[in-house]
């Protein structure tokens, strides 16, 4: 048993192993296999195999620099996507108390208290100040 473990350790030496993109690939493959339990669709099965093959290729690759570059590109896209959904979740959660506006200079999303009237807003990212009128419907009591 020890010789097998030693041989396996020597085989894995210098390989790329696991990163965030590999974790995403194996998660997608697992999700597709769960989805495909009942319909048994050949197209879903082929995509599942494709993601598994890509995972195995990246996991066993010795080209560490190239796999790291792929992971960095994936993380850039993943972070933008995650931030988009977090922003929209916060917009929905804070709908009654805050308004989200865009800075006209740098296009940053700014959170302003939901109070009727004209407000002078200073963008923390670019430092520019601008006026913004906030209005919303009055509730009937």
Provide the residue-wise pLDDT of the chain in tens; the chain has 141 residues: 899 999 999 999 999 989 999 999 999 999 999 999 999 999 999 999 999 999 999 999 999 999 999 999 999 999 999 999 999 999 999 999 999 999 999 999 999 999 999 999 999 999 999 999 988 765 544
- Domain residues for 129? 98-134
Helix 20-35 vs helix 64-93: angle between axes, to the nearest 10 degrees?
A: 70
Domain co-membership, 125 together with 107: yes
CA dihedral 102, 106, 107, 110 (to 10 degrees): -40
Does residue 48 belong to any structural domain of this protein? yes
pTM of the model: 0.76
Domain co-membership, 80 together with 103: no
Alpha-carbon distance of 79 to 88, in angstroms, equals 14
Q: How many domains does the chain have?
A: 2
Domain co-membership, 86 together with 123: no
Domain co-membership, 15 together with 81: yes
Upper half-sphere CA count for residue 103 (Cβ side, 13 Å)? 16
Does residue 112 belong to any structural domain of this protein? yes
Contacts 24+ apart (CB under 8 A), 48-52: 51/25, 51/26, 52/25, 52/26
Hey, is 139 helix, strand or coil?
coil
Does residue 139 belong to any structural domain of this protein? no
Which tokens belong to 128? 């520019």
* Model pLDDT, residue 15: 92
* Model pLDDT, residue 139: 53
* Model pLDDT, residue 141: 45
As beta bridge partners, residue 129 has 122
Which tokens belong to 54? 């890509």
Domain co-membership, 60 together with 124: no
């Amino acid at each position: 048993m020890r010789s097998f473990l030693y041989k396996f350790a020597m085989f894995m030496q210098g390989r790329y192993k696991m990163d965030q993109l590999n974790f995403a690939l194996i998660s997608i493959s697992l999700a597709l296999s769960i989805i495909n339990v009942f319909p048994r669709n050949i197209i879903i099965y082929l995509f599942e195999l494709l993601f598994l093959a890509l995972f195995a290729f990246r996991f066993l690759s010795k080209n560490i620099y190239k796999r790291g570059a792929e992971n960095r590109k994936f993380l850039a896209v993943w972070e933008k996507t995650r931030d988009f959904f977090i922003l929209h979740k916060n917009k929905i959660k804070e709908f009654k108390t805050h308004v989200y506006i865009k800075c006209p200079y740098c296009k940053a999303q700014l959170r302003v208290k939901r109070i009727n009237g004209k407000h002078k807003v200073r963008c923390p990212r670019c430092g520019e100040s601008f006026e913004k009128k906030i209005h919303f419907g009055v509730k009937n009591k």
